[in-house]
Amino acid sequence: MSIDENTAARVAKLARIKVEDEALPALASDFNRILGFIEQLNEVDVDGVEPMTSVTPVRLKRREDVVTDGNQQQKVLANAPDAREGFFAVPKVVE
């Protein structure tokens, strides 16, 4: 399976990373080298083997469905590049 520039551009779009057109050939070739390395996995017989979901065989912990934290608006917004009137501010989302 080989990745062409169109696929590289599509992946960049899905990842929301702007990649200039002139950088696409190098990116596609990096992808191909890495995926070529990963291809070895096809040699392994994985029939009947469950995909690992947790490395430790314990049941994921649960907690009571109650509020444990909150009322920290200032702290939540303290690191925002643009916060106004208690909200995160972003460019226009809908036309």
Nearest to 12 by CA among 39, 41, 25: 25
CB-based burial label for 29 (10 Å; 0-12, 13-18, 19+): middle
Does residue 67 touch another protein according to CB under 8 A?
A: no
Per CB under 8 A, does 15 bind another protein? Answer: yes
Cβ(60)–Cβ(52) under 8 Å? Answer: no
Q: How far is the CB of 81 from another protein (least distance, A)?
A: 4
Residues in contact with another protein by the rule CB under 8 A:
3, 7-8, 11-12, 14-19, 27, 30-31, 33-35, 37-44, 46, 49-56, 58, 60-61, 63, 72, 75-76, 78-82, 88, 90-93
